[in-house]
Amino acid sequence: MNKLTTNTMSDQTRTITSRTPKDFFFINVLGEGSFSTVYYSKEVDTGDEYAIKVLLKSEIRREGRARYVLREKDIMALLTYFYGGHPFIIRLYCTFQDNDRLYFALAYAKHGELLDWLRRLGSFDEEATLFYASEILCALEFLHKCKIIHRDLKPENILVGKDWHIMLSDFGTSKIINSEQTNKEQLPQQILDDVTTTLPPPPTSSPKNSGGVRSSFVGTAHYISPEVLKSEDVGSECDYWALGAIIFQMISGQPPFRAVNEYKILKKILGLDFHFPDGFPSIAKQLVSGLLVYKPSERLGSAANGGIEALKRHEFFKNVNWENIFTRKPPELKPYLPASCGEPAFYSDYNPLSGNIEPGLNEAALYRLMGLGPSVGGGGGCTSLKGFMDFDCIEGV
């Protein structure tokens, strides 16, 4: 039986042997995709909590998604085992399979996605924005040092753990720079074998997708950089663009580029067509303006502008002690409305964690669970995000 020893986030060691689905209780669904479902699970023997991503082999084959699954597995294994892991990046504990499914056992993020909290609260105050922006930047610094570009950074892929710190996730569209130089022999053999031995090879060329090259851009429309959209060579700067868009959204409650459909969103990105709302903090505005720059070489964080160290020294981050960033006390998240039109900023006393809900599954409860009702986010739910269409509000629920 294969055994692999890993370091947990508390630096304790534990031995993980080969697993099967019967080694876990699958308790409830955390999220669903086109060919995968993520379950909140507990290990039978230890009671340890995991998020187990279950992928259907038949759907992977049918959709031609094998290379994305393999890429995500490779990158998570590299980050966890080859590079030793990072507190702000999701940890892969083990993989296993049965006849129909692949299983990735991942660290469990108790508080869900950052997107969930933006939908509940509408926007973050400056303290919370600084806290989460600095953690995202710290995660990107580690990722880029490992020669990995995320390429699909967005609030949905930023998870919030039980201690309210982030865990960057979803590496299916990420890119490994100089991947041929990576010594995969240093990775646990179980991680290497469990998926690669059961998935089909990449599809051969076809009129739709010659040579297996992607036929559309990689990423999510609201956060995609111009160079990714144009299928140009990309570097770490594309992740800094996405960081700028996320900071904009954390403060204003909505992404910088918004339109009624994806085509018009992408057109706005290529035209740098965005505007800051009234009351947007001046230092944050300066930072976002330096990140949402069309040319990657002129973007904050680019090598030509001093790299990530110069970005970390921006005035927006002046109060961040990068040496103790892992042990900072998280700020309290509460509904916040930025100052605008001469009106001061507004805080609500609503506590999204109070648990003050009624038993049962009536209409009000269903609205709350779907993020549509007035009981979510202190009277707004995701409807507080101006510019979003109704179907965006329930996306991913």
pLDDT of 350 strictly over 70: no
pLDDT of 9 strictly over 80: no
Structure tokens at 5: 């020893």
- Of residues 278 and 301, which shows the higher confidence score? 301
At residue 24, the 3 state secondary structure works out as: strand
CB-based contact 52:24 (threshold 8 Å): yes
pLDDT category at 184 given cuts 50, 70, 90 is very low
Q: What is the CATH number of domain 114-168+216-327?
A: 1.10.510.10
pLDDT of 1 strictly over 50: no
CB under 8 Å to 354, separation ≥6 — which residues? none
The predicted model scores a pTM of 0.76
Does the fold of domain 114-168+216-327 match that of domain 3-109+177-196? no
Structure tokens at 199: 């998935």
Please write the tens of the pLDDT for every residue from 107-160.
999 999 999 999 999 899 999 999 999 999 999 999 999 999 999 999 999 999
Please write the tens of the pLDDT for every residue from 23-71.
999 999 998 887 899 999 999 999 999 999 999 999 999 989 999 999 9
pLDDT of 300 strictly over 90: yes
Dihedral sign for Cα atoms in the order 43, 135, 384, 349? positive
pLDDT category at 392 given cuts 50, 70, 90 is very low
| Cα 263 to Cα 266, 268, 364, distances in angstroms | 5, 9, 35
Burial class (CB in 10 A: 0-12, 13-18, 19+), 358: exposed
Residue 53 assigned to a binding site: yes
pLDDT at 34: 77
| Cα 91 to Cα 41, 109, 120, 294, distances in angstroms | 15, 10, 26, 33
Q: Which of 116, 125, 152, 170 is catalytic?
A: 152
Q: What is the CATH number of domain 3-109+177-196?
A: 3.30.200.20
145-149, 150-154, 273-277, 381-385: least confident range = 381-385
Q: What is the mean pLDDT of the chain?
A: 79
Please write the tens of the pLDDT for every residue from 195-210.
444 444 433 333 333 3
pLDDT category at 190 given cuts 50, 70, 90 is very low
Q: For the chain, give every domain's residue range.
A: 3-109+177-196, 114-168+216-327
At residue 261, the 3 state secondary structure works out as: coil
φ, ψ of residue 59 to 5 degrees: the values are -70, -35
Half-sphere exposure of 9 (CA within 13 A, CB side): 19
- Annotated active-site residue 152? The verdict is yes
pLDDT category at 171 given cuts 50, 70, 90 is very high
